[in-house]
Amino acid sequence: MKRILLLVFVFTLLLSACSGRKPAEVGADAPSDNVPDIVGEYAVNGFDPMDQEYGGRLSITEGENPGEYKLQWIVTGGIQEGVGILEGNKLTITWKTLAGSNETATGTAVYTVTVNGELYGTRMVDGGGGEGTETAYPNQ
């Protein structure tokens, strides 16, 4: 009987530790006047507006204008591309899925850049209701 109670206790503890989503740890927000270079390759982890977890890769290159960046995600379910404007430590993005993806979608995202060059923030799908969260970790 004690073994059963112990197993139930451990199982309950494991379930409570796994329930709910916790944001991944990232560095402190970068000061607006001292943001690290964000051009590069990133590993991505996120939760869509329906709380489904996804992962993938993000590539960021310089855009045509100062403070502008081109982004391309290869994530579970397809390929997306976007353009972002960096103001201070905030990167504001409009994005869309590319042909060949499972669904056609557009949306926006707002990331905060950390002192370690990580990006974290929210992503919205136009007409989708709600917002998801996403964190991008620079590949070193």
Q: With beta carbons less than 8 A apart as the criterion, state whether 79 and 90 touch.
A: no
- pLDDT tens per residue, range 33-64: 999 999 999 999 999 888 999 999 999 999 99
For 66, phi and psi rounded to 5 degrees? -60, 135
| Secondary structure (3-state) at 117 | coil
Residue 66 burial by CB count (10 A; 0-12/13-18/19+): exposed, middle or buried? exposed
**Signed CA dihedral, 46, 105, 82, 71: sign only:** positive
pLDDT of residue 44: 96
Look over the chain and give the mean of its residue pLDDT values, rounded to a whole number: 83
The tokens for 93 are 């993005």
The label of the residue with tokens 């989708």 reads 128
For range 120-125, the mean pLDDT: 94
* Spatial distance between the Cα atoms of 138 and 140, rounded to a whole number of angstroms: 6
Task: Give the pLDDT of residue 119.
Answer: 97
Q: What percent of the chain has pLDDT over 70?
A: 79
C-alpha to C-alpha distance for 140 and 14, rounded to whole angstroms: 33
The structural domain count of the chain equals 1
pLDDT digits (tens, 9 = 90+) for 72-82: 999 987 899 99
Q: Two tokens at 29?
A: 């927000």
Q: Which domain holds residue 14?
A: 2-138
Q: What is the CATH number of the domain that holds 22?
A: 2.40.128.120
